[in-house]
Structure 1
Amino acid sequence: MGRVQGKVALVTGGASGIGLSASVLMAKEGAKVVIADLNEKEAKDAAEMIKNQGGEAIGIFLDAGKEESIRNAIETTVESFGTITVLVNNVGLTNLHKDLDVVNLDLDEWDRLMNVNLKSVLLGSRFAIPHMIKAGGGSIINTASMAGLTGDSTRSAYGASKAAVVNLTRYIASQYGKDHIRCNGVAPGLILTPAAQNNMPQAVLDIFAKFNALPYHGEADDIGYTVLFLASDESKFITGQTIQVEGGHYMANPSISDFNDYLAKSQS
């Protein structure tokens, strides 16, 4: 207990999935948490759950596509708890129907994803950093994606926006390290959040499982614990990094699974 005792954290997109896991885990370990989400009711419900478990939290509205809403979330955090020392930029959008290959993707969707997935990280950091400097330092944690580190047949805008998040993470770390501000990213693979479970057919989940090095899928807490580590002083000498939390799905030669099948059949 107490791994982030005394820290004040704002988690965007914190009402469900990865954001909720990070919020709950940090609150259990002593942080005061502001949960900001487009779904204000779910944000407030999540904060109430944390308080019922003995933690400190509030839930607020956030539209990550609007600059003033992001500024208000930072200011509300500071007004409520006196400062901000941890910022988790966790909001991210994707659209499988409009975000296609480069020739066919919807250009308005490209602009929307860049605004929400990338610009919100810039703005959240921009508004939080002056407060962190006054507080003597802080930790910014950006939710990237393995889509930002690899290529794919679709979701071009999403992948490009997350790749930009990875490099923006390095820039923030480079520019503000001397102010005792660390900035790191987390790149999840397929994580079985409620959204993933509700929207992915079993056949798609099976495809991902085939190429995982581990024999199971990731869960929200796998990312939440990584965020907790990066928020804590346990990671005080880590900055500018994007930690891949993806079950080994992307680390190996992609032919290994099929080659193992071939060997098994040839030996039978």
Structure 2
Amino acid sequence: MGRVENKVALVTGAASGIGLASAQLLAKEGAKVVLADFNVEGAKEAAAELKAQGFEAEGVFLNALEEQSIKDAVEYTVDTYGKLDILYNNVGGTNLHKDLDVVNLDLAEWDRLMDLNLKSVLLGSRFAIPHMQKVGGGSIINTASMAAFASDAIRSAYGTSKAGVVHLTKYIAKQYGKDNIRCNAIAPGLILTPAAKNSLPQEMLDIFTKYNALPYNGEANDIGYGVVYLASDESKFMTGQTLEIEGGHYQANPTTADLAKFTK
């Protein structure tokens, strides 16, 4: 307990999944947390549950596709708690019906995902950094994806936007490190968020499990613990890095599991 005591954190995409788990863990470790989400009722409900447990939290509306909305969420955090120490840029998504291979993907969806997944990280950081400079530093954490490092049959825009997040993280780290502002990213593999559980059939989940180095898939808290680490002073000499939290899924030749069976 107390790993981020007296820190103020803004978590985007915090009404459910990875964002919610991260906000809960940050609060339990002593941070005052603002949960921002397009689903504002969900964000406020989650904040109320944290308050009922004795933690400090507020929920606020966020449309990550609108610059003013991102700025408003940052300003709300500072107005409410007086400062901003931690920003977790977690909003992101894709559309498997439109984000296809390069020849067939919807170009409007390409533009939307660049705004949602990449530009929102730029804007959140842009508005947060001046407040962090005022208090002598801070930690910015960005949600990337293993799709930034491994190609796929579809999700061309998603993977490209997340690769941009990885590199933007390095730029922020280099440009603002002397202000004691650290910037790191987390690249999750498959995480069993409610959205994943509801949209992926068990057969697909089994395929991921098959190729993981570990015998199970990740949970939202697995990413949340990484967020707490990057938000805390435990990672004070770490910046510009991307933590890959993915169960070893991408760490070996993908044929290894099948070849092992063949050679037995």
Q: TM-score range by the shorter chain?
A: over 0.9
Aligned-pair distance for 1:49?
Answer: 0.7
CA distance in 1, matches of 2:107, 2:166: 22
CA distance in 1, matches of 2:53, 2:226: 21
Q: Deviations over 1:143-192 (max 9, x none)?
A: 00000111111000000000000000000000000000000000000000
Matched letter for residue 201 of structure 1 = P
CA distance in 2, matches of 1:22, 1:205: 23
Alignment pair present for 1:152 and 2:165? no
Aligned-pair distance for 1:99?
Answer: 0.2
CA distance in 1, matches of 2:261, 2:203: 18
CA distance in 2, matches of 1:9, 1:120: 17
CA distance in 1, matches of 2:30, 2:185: 22
DSSP 3-state at the match of 1:34 = strand
CA distance in 2, matches of 1:254, 1:167: 26
Alignment pair present for 1:57 and 2:57? yes
1:99 alignment counterpart: 99
2:77 alignment counterpart: 77
1:254 alignment counterpart: 254
Q: Deviations over 1:184-204 (max 9, x none)?
A: 000000000000000001110
1:227 alignment counterpart: 227
TM-score scaled by length of structure 2:
0.99
DSSP 3-state at the match of 2:204 = helix
Aligned-pair distance for 1:233?
Answer: 0.4
TM-score scaled by length of structure 1:
0.98
Aligned-pair distance for 1:69?
Answer: 0.1
DSSP 3-state at the match of 1:182 = strand
CA distance in 2, matches of 1:202, 1:5: 40
Aligned-pair distance for 1:115?
Answer: 0.5
Aligned-pair distance for 1:255?
Answer: 1.3
1:114 alignment counterpart: 114
CA distance in 2, matches of 1:137, 1:54: 27
2:41 alignment counterpart: 41
Gaps of 5+ in 2: none
- Give the root-mean-square deviation of aligned CA atoms: 0.5
Q: Deviations over 1:2-39 (max 9, x none)?
A: 00001000000011000000000000010000000000
Matched letter for residue 142 of structure 1 = N
Aligned-pair distance for 1:261?
Answer: 1.4
Aligned-pair distance for 1:253?
Answer: 1.3
DSSP 3-state at the match of 1:103 = coil
CA distance in 2, matches of 1:197, 1:41: 22
CA distance in 1, matches of 2:193, 2:263: 35
Aligned length: 264
Query: Hey, which bits of structure 1, 4+ residues long, moved more than 6 A?
Result: none
Matched letter for residue 41 of structure 2 = K
Matched letter for residue 193 of structure 1 = T
CA distance in 2, matches of 1:221, 1:164: 25
Gaps of 5+ in 1: none
CA distance in 2, matches of 1:183, 1:260: 40
2:165 alignment counterpart: 165
* Identity in percent: 69
CA distance in 2, matches of 1:175, 1:150: 27
Q: Deviations over 1:33-78 (max 9, x none)?
A: 0000000000000000111111100000000000000000000000
CA distance in 2, matches of 1:261, 1:159: 31
Matched letter for residue 54 of structure 1 = G
Aligned-pair distance for 1:96?
Answer: 0.3
1:12 alignment counterpart: 12
DSSP 3-state at the match of 1:59 = strand
Aligned-pair distance for 1:263?
Answer: 1.6
